[in-house]
Amino acid sequence: MRTIVCDLRGVAADCVTVDALARIHLAARRAGVDLDVRHASPELKELLVFTGLSGVLGVEPCREAEEREELLGREEERELDDPPA
């Protein structure tokens, strides 16, 4: 299968980019071509996660250190200020 490489260096993280990527992905899929998205900025990755397109486009979201620890099952112990009512 053929692959289109989409290099996103310098591309703005906005709704226009997200729309364009969704349309390119759909057109590529209809043509039987894989889309390989590369070099997306952390801001664009987070926007793709927010819109639900990161999995479709194969873009891994950026994770903060604390989020990575939670994924590994580690939790911080902390005191709650107010008990639940």
Closest CA to 25 of 62, 53, 50: 53
Question: pLDDT digit string (tens) for 44-63?
Answer: 999 999 999 999 998 887 76
Structural domain harbouring 27: 3-61
65: pLDDT strictly greater than 50:
no
**Coil, helix or strand for 7?**
strand
pLDDT bucket at 1, cuts 50 / 70 / 90: confident
In a domain, 74, yes or no: no
In a domain, 69, yes or no: no
Question: pLDDT digit string (tens) for 7-58?
Answer: 999 999 999 999 999 999 999 999 999 999 999 999 999 999 999 999 999 8
Phi and psi for 52 in degrees, rounded to 5? 85, 10
Counting the structural domains of the chain, the total is 1
Neighbour tally for 45: CB within 10 Å: 20
In a domain, 68, yes or no: no
69 against 49, higher pLDDT? 49
In a domain, 84, yes or no: no
Q: Report the pLDDT value the prediction gives residue 38, as an integer from 0 to 100.
A: 94
Sequence-distant (≥ 6) Cβ neighbours of residue 3 within 8 angstroms: 33, 34, 35, 36
